[in-house]
Structure 1
Amino acid sequence: MPEKTKIGVFGVGHLGKHHARILNKIQRADLVGVHDVDPQRGEEIADREGVPYFSNAEELME
């Protein structure tokens, strides 16, 4: 099986939360975390998807 592609979602507002949900279901994608300027919203989506929330966008890119 091909290696999974690591993906982070930057901005989990109206569309971003759906992107995170869908990416988390794709077998060849590895959702590694989410970032949002609103920590409460970011943590909520991260918890829902079972991934870390990154308050610092640069850390998510590493």
Structure 2
Amino acid sequence: MAERQTYTVIVPFPTGRGHWSTAGEELDLLDVEANALLSAGRLALKSTSIPAEQATAQKAE
């Protein structure tokens, strides 16, 4: 499973179907999804998210 990372929106951008993100919003995105937005200075990396399968296994232990 591909790992998603948490990003914080710095400059709002269109997210599709007429909707826009908001400054300060946190989004879980794949590296491929965030690459252009990072280059444009619209996102900042916050932290690495744990894939759901690993999180469930850790809670079970």
Higher fraction of strand:
2
Same fold (TM over 0.5): no
What TM-score do the two structures reach when normalised by structure 1?
A: 0.29
Q: Greater helix share, 1 or 2?
A: 1
